[in-house]
Amino acid sequence: MYYPMYFDPTYILVLIGVVICLIASAKMNSTFSRYSRVRKHSGMTGRDAAEQILHREGLYDVRIEHISGNLTDHYDPRTKTLRLSDATYNSTSVAALGVAAHECGHAVQHATGYVPLKLRSSLVPVANFGSSIAWPLIILGFFFNSSTTSSLFINLGILAFSLAVLFQIVTLPVEFDASHRALKILGNTGMLYEDEVRDTRKVLTAAALTYVAGAASAILQLLRILLLTGNRRND
């Protein structure tokens, strides 16, 4: 597919994806910043809240560690380690408690064998490999004169990139469920007042939108690849 003066109209899809991700990220940062200034009534830190939630769920073998950075919080199922960032670990804000509870939600998912989490974990290596090898395979496919060989490499590249897209899609129910578990725990245990739970929901909803944006961006990139390679795949 040739475009005069090197203009590629399909690049608009990439730009749309970038804009979506930037908007979602800005929304997340502004929401977290706002509610990180709202202190919860209990004065409990993110670390204390995480420990209390884990113990209430019967999880005594999960370690809690402090990790540098802002919003770098995550749960590592390989080592059963919950890592809380600078903005969460010692903070007493409702935003920090929401993030800590969300990561605890992932720990509970792991302990209960939540299927989407298992699927996402199994996709990590192939998704990473697929995202790194996809474009080289596709570009290599354009160099072959044989339509059969060209189509083979291009289709392999598309398949590889599709695995990365699948990872983004599978991530959505994992993150939504972790937030649902977090809000349920916070509401049922009385760790937060009702108005604080509402504020926490806003933080977790903003965070969830970043994953939706990531999935949408990946799908748009896959669509672009399909449009760019349409003629060669059909030869």
Active site residue 57: no
pLDDT, one tens digit per residue, over 76-108 is: 999 999 999 999 999 999 999 999 999 999 999
Encode pLDDT of 17-38 as tens digits: 999 999 999 999 999 999 999 8
Q: What does the buried/exposed string (b/e) look like for 204-223 if buried means 16 or more CB atoms within 10 Å of the residue's CB? A: bebbbbbbbbbbbbbebbbe
Choosing from 51, 57, 103, 175, which is the catalytic residue? 103
Strand partners, 64: 82
Taking a C-beta distance cutoff of 8 angstroms, is the pair 72, 83 a contact?
A: yes
Return the pLDDT at 6: 56
Return the pLDDT at 7.
64
Distance (Å, whole) CA 41 – CA 192? 7
- Residue 235 is predicted with a pLDDT of 54
Q: What is the pLDDT of residues 64-77, one digit of tens each?
A: 999 998 889 999 99
Is residue 142 helix, strand or coil? coil
Is residue 232 very low, low, confident or very high in pLDDT (cuts 50, 70, 90)?
Answer: low
194 falls in which pLDDT band (50, 70, 90)? confident
How long is the chain? Answer: 235
Other beta carbons less than 10 A from residue 78's beta carbon: 7
Q: For residue 207, what pLDDT band results from cuts at 50, 70 and 90?
A: very high
Which stretches does DSSP call E strand in the chain? Answer: 63-66, 74-76, 81-84
Nearest-angstrom CA–CA distance, 177 and 70: 23
Q: Match 């590592």 to its residue by tokens.
A: 76
**Does pLDDT of 4 surpass 50?**
no
Structure confidence at residue 15 as a pLDDT band (50, 70, 90):
very high
User: Is the pLDDT assigned to residue 215 strictly greater than 80?
Assistant: yes
pLDDT given at position 234 = 57
3-state class of 38 per DSSP? coil
Model confidence at 42: pLDDT above 80: no
Tell me which H or E stretch contains 56. helix 46-56
Whether 1 shows a pLDDT value over 60: the answer reads: no
**Which amino acid type is present at position 232?**
R
- pLDDT of 5 reads 47
